[in-house]
């Protein structure tokens, strides 16, 4: 494979470009220049899925690879965006606490979970009636900076072009776009996948997320607090308070309802005082079976998709972009749970 056109330069498209470039493939990215998910995300890589209280999919492979990927990129992009993260989960009930106590001794959870410490006496403003547990080995990526630096690098490498994919310029039979012929074209359009005709069977849904940006001198700057939502310290007494999950809301407006909901979440975690100084919104590309969508179109050779990263783009994109590049350049099979053909009857 010599040259690839990638449509969409969010974390999916950009990570894939990096992996393909490492393999000597010539890459062009066409991106609309409006990024509604990767640059808005809080960028956490959390080994746990709190909603179901289990480990994230393939966490033992995904997490260490992602850490190395971002640390290596800090050198390449000449910027700092990787941060270690200690996550404190405040339990909502005795039952949840008991569940955690049991899980932390199980082999697969041991390196990610520990129980409460003497925290209660140190920070009286936290609402901590059932105790808390610590998630270890998490980290977070300063997403806005990461995406800005990534785009700068890809522009310098003459890989990234800003523009909208126009179907009229695309000839499927010869895999050409705007007069140039490619070996492969990969669609990494996030929640805008529904506007691309070839992969609509994946039925990627809109899951709007909003975040409040707050300031407080009373909150812990050392760890993230979580219960029904999260308060992530981002430095200088500033925090992200998130996030909402709003299904099938296609507009990208910030709303008063989301602000009210998030302020309600804050009050379930702590009595600290704070001020809101911003609100942002993004669209997660989410798939009904909660697995990404990857691989070649069963009918159209050379046409690929890499999408559906849902709520976990920062955890999944690094290793999945490697697996995608291996699939494209070496013909290696993808993980059976992610293949696009699962939608194609």
Ligand X SMILES: Cc1cc2nc3c(=O)[nH]c(=O)nc-3n(C[C@H](O)[C@H](O)[C@H](O)COP(=O)(O)OP(=O)(O)OC[C@H]3O[C@@H](n4cnc5c(N)ncnc54)[C@H](O)[C@@H]3O)c2cc1C
CB of residue 218 to ligand X, shortest distance in Å: 23
Q: Residue count at the site for ligand X (CB under 6 A)?
A: 43
* The one among 4, 5, 6, 8 contacting ligand X by CB under 6 A: 8
Residue in 205, 255, 209, 246 with CA at minimum distance from that of residue 41 = 209
Residues 6+ apart with CB under 8 A from 279: 210, 211, 212, 213, 254, 258, 259
Give the interface segment with ligand X, choosing from 8-16, 152-160, 270-278, 296-304 (CB under 6 A). Answer: 8-16
In angstroms, the CA 40 to CA 36 distance is 6
- Does residue 36 interact with ligand X by CB under 6 A? yes
- Does residue 307 interact with ligand X by CB under 6 A? yes
Q: What residues numbered 37-76 form the site for ligand X, per CB under 6 A?
A: 37-38, 40-44
- CA atoms 84, 88, 89, 95: torsion sign: positive
- Does residue 312 interact with ligand X by CB under 6 A? yes
- The strand pair at 184-187 and 3-7 is best described as parallel
- Does residue 185 interact with ligand X by CB under 6 A? no
- CA atoms 94, 98, 104, 107: torsion sign: negative
Locate the DSSP E strands across 142-254: 160-162, 170-171, 176-177, 180-181, 184-187, 205-215, 224-226, 230-235, 238-242, 246-247
Give the interface segment with ligand X, choosing from 1-9, 55-63, 93-101, 103-111 (CB under 6 A). Answer: 1-9
Q: Which is nearer to ligand X, 192 or 323 (CB)?
A: 192
* The one among 134, 159, 188, 305 contacting ligand X by CB under 6 A: 188
Q: Which is nearer to ligand X, 131 or 285 (CB)?
A: 285
Q: Which is nearer to ligand X, 233 or 282 (CB)?
A: 282
CB of residue 102 to ligand X, shortest distance in Å: 27
Give the interface segment with ligand X, choosing from 72-80, 121-129, 191-199, 213-221 (CB under 6 A). Answer: 191-199
112, 52 contact by CB (below 8 A): no
Q: Which is nearer to ligand X, 211 or 294 (CB)?
A: 211
| In the complex, residue closest to ligand X by CB | 10
* Token pair of 154 as six digits: 């890809």
Nearest 5°: the CA angle 11, 148, 5 is 50
* The one among 96, 192, 249, 296 contacting ligand X by CB under 6 A: 192
Residues 6+ apart with CB under 8 A from 259: 210, 212, 276, 279
Q: Which is nearer to ligand X, 165 or 304 (CB)?
A: 165
What is Dmax (Cα atoms) for the chain? 68
Determine what percent of the chain falls in helix, strand and coil, rounding each to the nearest 5.
Answer: 30, 30, 40
Q: Which is nearer to ligand X, 96 or 249 (CB)?
A: 249
Q: Measured between alpha carbons, how far apart are the two ends of the chain, in Å?
A: 28
Q: Which is nearer to ligand X, 64 or 98 (CB)?
A: 64
Tell me the per-residue interface mask from 195 to 234 with ligand X, x by CB under 6 A, - otherwise.
Answer: x-------------x-x-----------------------
- Does residue 29 interact with ligand X by CB under 6 A? no
* The one among 30, 63, 322, 325 contacting ligand X by CB under 6 A: 30
- Does residue 190 interact with ligand X by CB under 6 A? yes
Buried b (16+ CB within 10 A) or exposed e, 133-163: bbbebbbbbbbbebbbbbbebbeeeebbeee
CB of residue 291 to ligand X, shortest distance in Å: 13
In angstroms, the CA 35 to CA 43 distance is 14
Residues 6+ apart with CB under 8 A from 196: 7, 165, 187, 189
Site residues (vs ligand X, CB under 6 A): 7-13, 30-32, 34-38, 40-44, 164-165, 188-192, 195, 209, 211, 242-243, 282, 284-285, 307, 309-315
């Amino acid at each position: 494979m010599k040259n690839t056109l990638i449509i969409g330069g969010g974390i999916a498209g950009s990570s894939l470009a990096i992996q393909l470039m490492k393999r000597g493939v010539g890459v062009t990215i066409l991106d609309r220049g409006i990024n509604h998910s990767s640059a808005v995300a809080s960028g956490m890589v959390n080994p746990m899925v709190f909603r179901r209280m289990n480990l994230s999919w393939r966490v033992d492979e995904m997490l260490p690879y992602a850490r190395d990927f971002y640390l290596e990129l800090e050198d390449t992009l000449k910027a700092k965006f990787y941060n270690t993260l200690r996550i404190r989960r405040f339990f909502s009930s005795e039952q949840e606490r008991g569940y955690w106590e049991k899980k932390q001794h199980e082999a697969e959870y041991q390196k990610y979970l520990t129980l409460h410490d003497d925290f209660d006496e140190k920070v009286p403003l936290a609402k901590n009636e059932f105790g808390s547990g610590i998630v270890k080995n998490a980290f977070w990526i300063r997403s806005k900076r990461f995406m800005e630096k990534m785009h700068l690098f890809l522009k310098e490498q003459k890989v990234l072009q800003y523009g909208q994919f126009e179907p009229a310029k695309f000839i499927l039979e010869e895999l050409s776009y705007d007069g140039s012929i490619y070996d492969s074209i990969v669609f990494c359009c996030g929640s805008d996948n529904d506007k691309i005709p070839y992969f609509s069977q994946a039925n990627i849904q809109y899951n709007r997320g909003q975040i409040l940006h707050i300031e407080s001198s009373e909150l812990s700057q050392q760890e993230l607090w979580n219960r029904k939502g999260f308060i992530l310290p981002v430095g200088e007494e500033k925090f992200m308070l998130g996030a909402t999950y709003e299904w099938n809301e296609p507009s990208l407006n910030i709303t008063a309802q989301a602000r009210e909901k998030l302020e309600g979440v804050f009050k379930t975690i702590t009595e600290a005082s704070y001020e809101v100084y911003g609100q942002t919104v993004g669209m997660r590309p989410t798939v009904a079976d909660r697995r990404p969508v990857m691989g070649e179109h069963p009918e159209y050779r050379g046409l690929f998709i890499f999408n559906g990263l849902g709520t976990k783009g920062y955890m999944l994109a690094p290793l999945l972009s490697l697996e995608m590049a291996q699939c494209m350049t070496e013909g290696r099979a993808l993980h059976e749970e992610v293949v696009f053909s699962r939608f194609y009857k």
